[in-house]
Structure 1
Amino acid sequence: MSEHRKTASPAKVGPWVIDTRDLGRRPGSSRELVRNAPAPAGFGQPEVIGVPEGADVALDLLLESVVEGVLVSGTVTAPLAGECSRCLDPIDDEITVELTELYAYPDSTTDATTEDDEVSRLVDDVVELEPVVRDTIVLALPQAPLCREDCRGLCPECGAKWADLEPDHRHETIDPRWAALTERFKDDSDG
């Protein structure tokens, strides 16, 4: 086992950290995990959409001991807050994502044959869920969130929401190349 894996950070304590010693490294043993954990900063794109810091993230997971480590699978549900990319209205929604992640045992074949960033690893028989849940949620977020699918956005001329404007709303635009001619005809019609 490489030296950097031996000196991994000490096990943390908290709602995102799961002790797996009760599984006993016996393939086939499993247990359910149902809990809420507060969202840390960075669960999303704060300027666009994400899970508000401190919001309850519901974890409904199954931890299974397998030959190479602990397989964590299940669903994660969290509230979302952001703004519509078209009309800038606030968005309050919820996201549910499927999670499946193998946490490799130290000295397992998976641990020995994969790079550090290719698979999660158990450190002192502890699973740290926060990075995996964050990555799963962030990848599932829309790049351009909408308040509703048919949102028309804002009028490019006046900036008002199309939904609040009359159906025949428009702005008179004159091609700048014809502006002088338009002014000339306007002066002729006045006199």
Structure 2
Amino acid sequence: MSENRQAATRNATSPWVIDTRELGRRPGSSRAVRRTVPVDVPLGIADVVEVPVGAEVDVDVLLESVVEGVLVSGTASAPTRGECARCLDPLDGRVEVELTELFAYPNSATEETTDEDEVPRLVDDRIDLEPVVRDAVVLTLPQVPLCRPDCPGLCPECGAKWAEIGSDHGHEKIDARWAALRERFGESSDRPEEN
């Protein structure tokens, strides 16, 4: 039994899996499917921005029977959580992705002429939307999320937010060649002694 067939059999009760037997194989047949799917594994870019565990993905798709398989088109949307890449403030948002994917029938010309990673397959008349939605979400989410386009970020010296500390914020920098003298003689070494 192939790895895909084992996964489909094991996940037949998953809310991501849609049974297409009611659709039939007559080209032109269609069926709308709407469901809300709970997320048990984060979708997105780990530690950057993602659809978190416990969130729900709203799936609204149309299944259409075509000669080579089942064409799935529609949308999926879900809440997102992450942090600004510059100031590390938490970000909450929503992602909506467009889905268009052909699932090939077993023994079809498409199945015989493409690899499994190019075109997904129907397994036991079922399709698994999770990989399709996961890929679409990852490609849609920003790789560098920002709280606002002009976010100034953090001070590299102390980590304070530039937006809160202002442009006059600074840190005294000592030339590394003089640091040893300063360490040895202290702050007042460059001042003349008073009598």
2:116 is equivalent to residue 119 of structure 1: no
Match of 2:45 in 1: 45
The one-letter code matched in structure 2 to 1:66 is V
- Post-superposition Cα deviations, 1:25-63, rounded to whole Å, max 9, x if no partner, equal 111111211221111213123322110112110111111
The aligned residue for residue 174 of structure 1 is 174
Matches within 5 A, 1:1-191: 4=2, 8-9=5-6, 10=9, 12-177=12-177, 179=179, 187-191=189-193
Please state how far the C-alpha of 1:131 moved relative to its aligned partner.
Answer: 1.3
SS in structure 1 of the partner of residue 78 of structure 2: strand
**Contact 1:105–1:121 (CA under 8 A) maintained in structure 2:** yes
In structure 2, what is the Cα distance between the partners aligned to 1:126 and 1:144? 36
Q: In the TM superposition, what is the alpha-carbon distance from 1:178 to its structure 2 partner?
A: 5.1
Shift of 1:180: 7.0
Determine if contact 1:42/1:134 at 8 Å carries over to the other structure: no
Deviation at 1:130, TM superposition (A): 0.9
* Structure 2 contact 34–60 (Cα < 8 Å) conserved: yes
CA deviation string 1:62-116 (max 9, x = no partner): 1111110001111111111111111111111111111111100011100111112
Gapped runs of 5+ residues in structure 1? none
Determine the C-alpha separation between the residues in 2 that align with 1:92 and 1:188. Answer: 53
TM-score (norm 1): 0.88
**Secondary structure of the structure 2 residue equivalent to 1:23:** coil
Residues 12 and 169 from structure 1, CA distance in 2 versus in 1: closer, same or farther, beyond 3 angstroms? Answer: same
- Which sits farther off after the overlay, 99-108 or 12-21? 12-21
Bigger shift: 98-107 or 171-180? 171-180
C-alpha contact (below 8 Å) 1:97/1:140 kept by paired residues: yes
CA distance in structure 1 between the aligned counterparts of 2:190 and 2:174, rounded to whole angstroms: 18
Give secondary structure in 2 for the equivalent of 1:177: helix
- Name the amino acid aligned to 2:87: C
Q: Aligned partners of 1:75 and 1:102: how far apart in 2? A: 15
Aligned-residue offset at 1:177: 3.3
Identity %: 60
Paired with 1:12 and 1:103, the residues of 2 have a C-alpha distance of 16
Contiguous gaps of at least 5 residues in structure 2: none
Say what the alpha-carbon RMSD is for the aligned residues. 2.3
Counterparts of 1:42 and 1:65 in 2: how far apart (Å)? Answer: 31
Amino acid at match of 1:138: V
Report the alpha carbon displacement of residue 133 of structure 1 after superposing the two structures with TM: 0.8
| Equivalent position SS for 2:118 | coil
Contact 2:45/2:143 (8 A) holds in 1: no
SS at match of 1:103: strand
Shift of 1:181: 8.5
